[in-house]
Amino acid sequence: MNPMHVIDYQIHGDDMQFVEITLDPNEAVVAEAGAMMFMDDGIEMETIFGDGSQQNRGLLGSLLGAGTRILTGESLFMTVYGNRTMQRRRLAFGAPYPGKILPMHLGEMGGELIAQKDSFLCAAKGVNVGIAFQKRLGAGLFGGEGFIMQRLRGDGLAFVHAGGTLYERTLAPGETLRVDTGCLVALQPGVDYDIEFVGGIKTALFGGEGLFFARLRGPGKVWLQSLPFSRLAQRIVAAAPQTGRGGREEGSLLGGLGRVLDGDNR
């Protein structure tokens, strides 16, 4: 296992946060493409296959690391930001939409964390960003995230993003919590994750909460988000004015009536 880089950080902002990371000489972080906000002179960027933990394992290790990212729906490549000077240098990564950035000390969590594939932001060089197959067929088919979630391994720092307001809860052994599948951000490996049918056919079809819940059973910690990006995107699309055939004009009588029926009286 590659040694973890120990990094210093500070999280700025409230609703639209960014994390500022200070790198000592020869320290580095690995991040998703497009997450960087700014960086000091002397920090070099390097695009690699997979995650940074696979870089020194030869061509086969790099291909395996890249292959796991294909399965999670991510790009083949990640970016390593390294401080190549003899002085401390700073860089920052911004949240993709309103919410909170969570610093996860993997060494204090048993060295492993399971996260939604879209929640990972960046991590200290040496953290392994892999895949976690769901244990049950039901969870894979109906969980909203396929069979795959991301598995973060190591003893360094990793940063994940939660949309809206963050809710952290520690489940006792055997304690069960049902959540909307999109609201799940991360969980410790000891938490059992499965899918549960909502209930009767009327509730499933007209209840507005979808057909399935995620059922989490302790022991362990879980992190939830109040605003999944998919929910935000659906509201934006629904609120956008529709024109053309079968749509509504913003200033038309039909459009105004439609807004009243939809509960939008603005």
Give the pLDDT confidence of 75-92 residue by residue, as tens digits.
Answer: 567 899 999 999 999 999
**Does residue 168 have a pLDDT over 90?**
yes
**What sign results for the dihedral spanned by CA atoms 53, 57, 58, 60?**
negative
Q: Which residues pair with 107 in a beta bridge?
A: none
Strand partners, 114: 151, 187
| Separation of CA 26 from chain center | 27
pLDDT band at 43 (very low <50, low <70, confident <90, very high): very high
How far is residue 42's CA from residue 90's CA, in Å, rounded to a whole number?
10
* Average pLDDT for the chain: 77
Among 172, 176, 166, 145, which Cα is nearest to 224's? 166
What pLDDT is attached to residue 219? 96
Q: Which of 47, 52, 221 is nearest to 129 (CA)?
A: 52
Please report how many Cα atoms fall inside a 13 Å half-sphere around the Cα of residue 26, on the Cβ side.
2
Do residues 223 and 166 lie in contact, with contact meaning Cβ atoms separated by under 8 Å?
A: yes
Residue 194 has, within 13 A of its CA and on its CB side, a CA count of: 8
Q: Which two tokens stand for residue 250?
A: 């913003």
Phi-psi region of 117 (alpha: psi -120 to 50; beta: other; left: phi over 0): alpha
pLDDT at 210 over 60: no
* Residue 189 clears pLDDT 70, i.e. is over it: yes
- CA separation for the pair 244, 249 (Å, rounded): 8
| Helical (H) or strand (E) element with 205 | helix 201-206
Task: List 196's β-bridge partners, or say none.
Answer: 213
Phi, psi of 237 (to 5 degrees): -65, -40
Of residues 34 and 219, more confidently modeled? 219
| pLDDT attached to residue 252 | 44
Question: Model confidence at 175, in pLDDT bands (50, 70, 90)?
Answer: very high
Beta-carbon-side half-sphere exposure of residue 149 (alpha carbons within 13 Å):
28
| Residue 87: other Cβ atoms inside 10 A | 10
Q: Could you tell me the two tokens for 204?
A: 């499933």
**Domains in the chain, please, with CATH?**
8-232 (3.60.160.10)
Q: Rounded to an integer, what distance in angstroms lies between the CA atom of residue 36 and that of residue 29?
A: 11
Averaged pLDDT for residues 176-199: 85
In angstroms, the CA 87 to CA 19 distance is 20
Name which of 14-18, 33-37, 203-207, 215-219 the model is least confident about. Answer: 203-207
Q: What is the pLDDT of residue 158?
A: 95
Decide: 164 and 227 in contact? Cβ < 8 Å: yes
99-133 pLDDT tens trace: 999 999 999 988 999 998 788 899 998 898 887 76
